[in-house]
Amino acid sequence: MEPTVIAAERLLLRPLDNADEDVVFAACQDPEIQRWTGIPSPYERRHAAFYLGELVPAGWRDDTMYHFAVEARTSGTFLGSVNVHRHADVWAVGYWTVAEHRGGGYALEAVLALARWTFSVLRAPRLEWRAEPGNLASWAVARKAGFALEGTLRAAHVNGDTAKDVWISSLLPQDLGLPSPISYQPAQAELPAS
């Protein structure tokens, strides 16, 4: 897919590129971003260069992940990053906000714009949010965006030689008033308690 720009009310989501190395490197020095996103720690300039020069273009080229810079529409200020990436056959969302711009609703607006794009352009029937248990700031954004908490996946994220649990939630196109590319039949029964 050709890189594209997504416009939201206050934001522009544009593909990250090599020109973003300084802002990505600076933002990723934040211990909170390192703690919750799984980026290398310490985060070195070479990590930003590899991410922007290799991983981001490969994702667009291979149709496996789409990473966007989140910018203020009027000033062009870099506010954070948002992405959709594949987990097997399901698309998942990821995001972070530059520390000094947190609390302004930018992550929520970016996630909603990206979700609409994912449902309409990628024709995804489902979008997942996953996070390490305890990441309440990320969950607050996902919840406000309409994601429904589904539970905890045990040992679902392996980092090095450690398997960690993850929280999982989902958003469907119909949650945003959009058509689904396939029909959906909700569960008609619940699992027995024992």
Alpha-helical segments (H) within 52-189 = 56-62, 106-120, 136-145
Residue 189's pLDDT band, with cuts at 50, 70 and 90, is confident
Amino acid (one-letter) located at 62: D
CA R_g for the chain = 17
Q: How far apart are CA 130 and CA 127, in angstroms?
A: 10
Position 161 scores a pLDDT of 87
Position 14 scores a pLDDT of 98
pTM of the model: 0.94
Position 30 scores a pLDDT of 92
pLDDT surpassing 90 at residue 160 = no
Residue-wise pLDDT for 121-156, tens only, equals: 999 999 999 999 999 999 999 999 999 999 999 999
Contacts of 194 (CB under 8 A, 6+ apart): none
Q: What is the DSSP letter of 34?
A: H
